[in-house]
């Protein structure tokens, strides 16, 4: 499943981006995809460690490992983490 996002730049923000790139759309996509890649590496590493520590078979492929990490609560979304943090303060 692919998800599309749309952003809006002010005229000034566009001018500033024109200073650093000839293709703002490509720059945005590259930036987001690179950040996702970095998060993926952290998630897979955490999942591998968790599975090895608990004698659990590691999922085959990156997608399976990311799904496994979420299923085993090795990682949480930021929203889940924030809600858990707020709940612990009560």
Convert the pLDDT of each residue in 13-28 to its tens digit: 999 999 999 999 999 9
pTM (two decimals)? 0.85
Place 30 in a pLDDT band, splitting at 50, 70 and 90: very high
In order, the DSSP letters of 50-78 are: HHHHTT-PPPSSHHHHHHHHHHTTSS--H
DSSP 8-state secondary structure symbol assigned to residue 22: S
Q: What is the pLDDT of residues 36-53, one digit of tens each?
A: 999 999 999 999 999 999
Residue 86 has pLDDT above 80, yes or no: no
b/e map 16-51, b = 16+ CB within 10 Å: eeeeeeeeeeeeeeeeeeeeeeeeeeebbeebbebb
Place 67 in a pLDDT band, splitting at 50, 70 and 90: very high
DSSP 8-state secondary structure symbol assigned to residue 12: H
């Amino acid at each position: 499943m692919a998800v599309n996002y749309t952003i809006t730049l002010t005229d000034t923000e566009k001018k500033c981006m024109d200073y650093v790139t000839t293709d703002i759309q490509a720059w945005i996509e590259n930036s987001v995809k690179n950040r996702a890649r970095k998060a993926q590496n952290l998630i897979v590493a955490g999942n591998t460690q968790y599975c090895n520590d608990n004698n659990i078979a590691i999922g085959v492929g990156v997608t399976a490992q990311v799904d496994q990490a979420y299923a085993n609560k090795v990682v949480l979304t930021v929203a889940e983490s924030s809600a858990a943090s707020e709940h612990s303060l009560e």
